[in-house]
């Protein structure tokens, strides 16, 4: 017996097909959680490198502008490890989600999203490196959050609209970190760590749980 499909259901299917072809919808909520956990681990390492495990207050560190080139290189290495771990985990978990749903992963929309993200993110990364090696430590954490938020906002048009909400939160935290300089490391940890974990949980509950 043939089942008739209502016009509303037909329009919904057409809309879903158009979204799948024009937007990258394979982002996994688990990838958001993984990125947050990687950032928290990196912040913990930075805490021990910068502040000697709490022996040095963050405002004292900022006032002395670090302890030489060795600390700067340690920070760069820490940031690179966090970046690689976050990218690999996000890529793998999103790829696994696409395979489970039977969707193509490296689609034109995915490529456009990555390019949009990396243009702003790469510019922000270079700017932060220049600030770090010029000795302007106080605004590095704020700049990272702001550029990251702008990168997410720029790339959000190629993925789920929820990413724009994450972008606004990151930008807001970055502006706050620019005002509250003594809380830069804490706000960086909140933005890249805690916020990502919460965002990942929400995304998983909203999208991934249904298809699990």
Tell me the angle at which helices 140-155 and 162-179 cross, rounded to the nearest 10 degrees: 160
In a domain, 100, yes or no: yes
Q: Which pair of tokens denotes residue 43?
A: 């912040």
In a domain, 80, yes or no: yes
8 pLDDT more than 60: yes
Give how many domains the chain has, as a whole number. Answer: 1
Global pTM reads: 0.79
Q: What is the pLDDT of residues 49-108, one digit of tens each?
A: 776 766 666 666 666 555 556 666 777 788 888 888 888 888 888 888 878 877 777 777
pLDDT bucket at 1, cuts 50 / 70 / 90: very low
- Mapped onto helix, strand or coil, the DSSP state of residue 175 is helix
In a domain, 9, yes or no: no
In a domain, 48, yes or no: yes
pLDDT at 101: 73
Out of 34-38, 50-54, 166-170, pick the least confident: 50-54
In a domain, 87, yes or no: yes
Q: Which pair of tokens denotes residue 172?
A: 């807001």
In a domain, 205, yes or no: yes
Tell me the angle at which helices 162-179 and 195-203 cross, rounded to the nearest 10 degrees: 170
The C-alpha atoms of residue 193 and residue 173 are separated, in whole angstroms, by 12
In a domain, 203, yes or no: yes
Q: Domain of 158?
A: 28-211
């Amino acid at each position: 017996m043939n089942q008739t499909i209502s016009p509303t259901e037909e329009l919904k299917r057409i809309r879903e097909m158009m979204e799948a072809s024009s937007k990258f919808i394979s982002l996994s909520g688990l990838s958001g959680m993984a990125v947050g956990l990687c950032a928290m681990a990196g912040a913990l390492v930075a805490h021990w490198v910068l502040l000697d495990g709490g022996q040095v207050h963050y405002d004292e560190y900022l006032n002395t502008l670090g302890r030489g080139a060795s600390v700067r290189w340690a920070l760069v290495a820490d940031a690179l490890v966090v970046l690689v771990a976050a990218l690999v985990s996000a890529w793998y978990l999103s790829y696994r989600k696409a395979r489970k749903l039977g969707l193509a992963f490296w689609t034109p929309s995915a490529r456009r999203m990555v390019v949009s993200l990396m243009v702003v993110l790469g510019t922000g990364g270079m700017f932060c490196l220049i600030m770090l090696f010029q000795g302007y430590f106080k605004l590095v954490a704020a700049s990272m959050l702001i550029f990251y938020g702008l990168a997410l906002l720029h790339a959000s048009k190629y993925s789920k609209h929820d990413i724009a909400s994450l972008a606004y939160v990151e930008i807001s935290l970055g502006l706050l970190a620019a005002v509250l300089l003594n809380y830069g490391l804490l706000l960086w940890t909140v933005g890249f760590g805690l916020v990502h974990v919460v965002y990942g949980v929400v995304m998983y509950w909203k999208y991934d749980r249904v298809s699990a």
